[in-house]
Amino acid sequence: MSAPSVGRDGTDPAGMSLEPSSPAPSPLAPSAADVFGYSPAPESASLARIAASYDLYIGGQFRAAADGRTLTTINPATEQTLAVVAHGGAADVDAAVAAARRALSGPWGSMSATERGKFLFRISRLIAERARELAVVETLDNGKPIRETRDIDIPLVAAHFFYHAGWADKLPWAGLGPDPRPVGVVGQIIPWNFPMLMLAWKVAPALACGNTVVLKPAETTPLTALLFAEICADAGLPDGVVNIVTGDGETGGALVDHPGMDKIAFTGSTAVGRSIARAVAGTRRRVTLELGGKAANIVFDDAPMDETIEGIVDGIFFNQGHVCCAGSRLLVQESVADEVVERLQRRMSTLRVGDPMDKNTDVGAINSAEQLARIEALVTVGEGEGAHRWSVPCQLPDQGFWFAPTIFTDVQPAHRVAREEIFGPVLSVLTFRTPDEAVAQANSTPYGLSAGIWTDKGSKILWLADRLKAGVVWANTFNRFDPTSPFGGYKESGYGREGGRQGLAAYVA
């Protein structure tokens, strides 16, 4: 891992020193960044024992794709190949659905709920045991900082299995009817932004409720799902309960169209979600969708400003902004807009962008060249439409896919950067005067996944929370996740919830 971590360069673009009282650095004296800079603190990549190639996991067997096709997965921070992975096709999906059906009518379906739950507890423990390895593989495959995979993604994965394990034999108390039954064979398609966490959000409740699954990980991030297949085998989970079919959009399409499927659960873009909703229309297959977002993060003049700045940064730069619920539209009350933008720029200048394996890194690599191109295209549109762009003046590594944390000011609600999901480290700043105006602006989007509120006034928080059309409202915090807490959207951000008691409803008939 050679990509350097690069912190702030000591000045902001206005030429103002970050520590106004300190004298201008002399060319001979070490700069503040040198004195107080971070030494590289890389996590050891050797913790990840990545094989040269991986097969599909179907019916408890690892096997190549029926037609022998493969995909290559790379490290987006270095563009180096990590592994070659089987590219599943329609025949493989068919085999996986058949294996899932056999498991459902066989050992899994006849197992007592208590024993089923114990398998999930065991899986949760195995994940915790291999947590560091999983975190490293996730960071290598995805490009997100090791600090996040180590402290957020993988601990939440283990927690998700542990939480749902306990539900397995308590479903009659979940308030979902007196005799909750499994839906059946569930097809699950997950995105690349939180590869293993999204797997947990899908697989844990499905198994807890007695279903069997065919999971398709994202094309660019298949590795942790394949390690999860090993964990399932290790746990002694009956063959066919979990099947992993790696591949691309075509593989996902084969899953969606498979008539042997009882339900489809999808997390990803609104465009694909719409096509899935169309594909299952008129069938008895059920569907839940967790789609895009363009969350408003609303800052009032009475907000606790230090926490607010941290929350804004966490809201949009967490995971490089590859977050469907990212706080990508900052709505600031006009009277504090200048102060907020200035402090935000100062804080952004201290973000460390670079090697995801460095434990000090805040912002890692963009997941793919394709996603980077999408971000760059929308940012170019934003500039063309007249919004003012400011990017952190940091040095980016030569190899890999990178995008400096960026904010747009002078944004009008009609601008594309204010309306479309960028799915990158790009924040659009808009202003409002009154709470009513904030609500109107926040809700003026076809999306409705999440929203943020920053104010010290409790009654204002509750007033707003009632009016925001969003499935998750974070007040004086942002981007918090927990297995007990339902997650999912209003409007075109999809339907159904994941997590919590309400999330079980997606997996019982």
Partner 1 sequence: MPTDTAAASEAPTRLDVRKTYKLAIGGKFPRSESGRSYPVFATGAEAGALPLAHAAHASRKDVRDAVVAARSAQSGWAGATAYNRGQVLYRVAEMLEGRAEQLSAEVADAEGIDRRDAGAVVRATVDRWVWYAGWTDKIAQVAGNANPVAGPYFNLSVPEPTGVIAVLAPQRSSLLGFTSVVAPVIAAGNACVVVTSWRRPLPAATLAEVLATSDVPGGVVNTLTGSAAELGPWLAAHADVDGIDLTGAAELDSPTWGELEAAAAETLKRVRRPAELPAGAEEDWQAIPHLDRILTFCEIKTVWHPKGR
Residue 112 identity: S
476 φψ region: left (φ > 0), alpha (ψ -120 to 50), beta (else): left
Question: In terms of C-beta distances under 8 Å and separation of at least 24 residues, what long-range contacts does 59-62 make, across chains too?
Answer: 59/95, 59/96, 59/98, 59/99, 59/102, 59/103, 59/239, 59/240, 59/243, 60/99, 60/233, 60/238, 60/239, 60/240, 61/239, 62/229
- For partner 1, the closer of residues 57 and 266 by Cβ is 266
Applying CB under 8 A, among 101, 495, 506, 507 the residue interacting with partner 1 is 495
Single out the catalytic residue among 148, 209, 232, 324. 324
Helices and strands of the chain, counted as H and E runs: 18, 18
Stretch that binds partner 1, among 118-126, 259-267, 371-379, 480-488 (CB under 8 A): 480-488
Q: How many CB atoms lie within 10 A of CB 191?
A: 21
CB of 45 to partner 1, least distance (A): 30
Q: Tokens representing 90?
A: 């329609």
492 part of the interface to partner 1, by CB under 8 A: yes
Cβ distance to partner 1 smaller for residue 400 or 489: 489
Mark the segment that binds partner 1 (CB under 8 A) among 126-134, 138-146, 392-400, 477-485: 477-485
Residues forming beta bridges with residue 72, ordered by sequence position: 84
Is residue 411 helix, strand or coil?
A: coil
Of 290, 421, 492, 498, the active-site residue reads 290
Shortest separation between residue 299's beta carbon and partner 1, angstroms:
16
In the complex, minimum distance from the CB of residue 440 to partner 1, in angstroms, rounded to a whole number: 12
Smallest separation, CB 488 to partner 1 (Å): 7
Q: Name residues contacting partner 1, limited to 433-462 (CB under 8 A).
A: 461
DSSP state of 260: T
466 by Cβ neighbours in 10 Å (0-12 / 13-18 / 19+) ranks as exposed
Residue (24 or 281) nearer to partner 1, CB:
281
For partner 1, which residue of 66, 378, 473, 509 counts as binding (CB under 8 A)? 473
Q: How many whole angstroms separate alpha carbon 166 and alpha carbon 163?
A: 6
Nearer to partner 1, 154 or 365 (CB): 154
The answer to whether residue 209 is catalytic is no
Q: How many residues bind partner 1 (CB under 8 A)?
A: 41
| 334 within 8 A of 438, measured Cβ to Cβ | no
Is 472 a binding residue for partner 1 by CB under 8 A? The answer is yes
* 3-class SS of residue 62: strand
Nearest approach, Cβ of 46 to partner 1 (angstroms)? Answer: 31
Buried b (16+ CB within 10 A) or exposed e, 80-118: eebbebbbbbbebbbbbbbbbbbbbeeebbebebeebbb
Q: Is 172 in the site for partner 1 (CB under 8 A)?
A: no
What would the x/- binding string for partner 1 be over residues 138 to 167, using CB under 8 A?
Answer: ---------------------x--------
In the region spanning residues 291 to 350, those forming contacts with partner 1, defined by CB under 8 A, are: 291
Reference 135, options 268, 51, 44; nearest CA is 44
The backbone region for 174, taken as left when phi is positive above 0, alpha when psi lies in -120 to 50, beta otherwise, is alpha
The binder of partner 1 chosen from 37, 60, 476, 509 (CB under 8 A): 476
Q: Is 42 in the site for partner 1 (CB under 8 A)?
A: no
User: How far apart are alpha carbons 59 and 391 in whole angstroms?
Assistant: 49
Q: How far is the CB of 357 from partner 1 (least distance, A)?
A: 27
Phi, psi for 11 (deg, rounded to 5):
-130, 160
Stretch that binds partner 1, among 69-77, 344-352, 421-429, 499-507 (CB under 8 A): 499-507
SS3 labels along 332-393: EEHHHHHHHHHHHHHHHCCCCECCCCECCCCECCCCCHHHHHHHHHHHHHHHHCCCEEEECC
324 classed as catalytic: yes
CB of 462 to partner 1, least distance (A): 8
**Whole-angstrom distance, CA of residue 113 vs CA of residue 362:** 42
Q: Do 214 and 207 meet the contact criterion of CB atoms below 8 Å apart?
A: no
The reply on whether position 465 binds partner 1 by CB under 8 A is yes
> Measured from the CB atom, is 23 or 178 closer to partner 1?
178
Q: Which two tokens stand for residue 190?
A: 């997950």
* Per-residue contact string for residues 257-296; x = within reach of partner 1 by CB under 8 A: -------------x--xx--xx--xxxx----x-x-----
Which CB atom, from 37 or from 435, has the smaller least distance to partner 1?
435
Min dist CB 179 to partner 1, Å, is: 12
Output the smallest distance, CB 486 to partner 1, in A: 5
Interaction site with partner 1 (CB under 8 A): 159, 175, 177, 270, 273-274, 277-278, 281-284, 289, 291, 461, 465, 470-477, 480, 482, 484-488, 490-492, 494-495, 497, 500-502, 505
Task: Kindly list the catalytic residues.
Answer: 290, 324
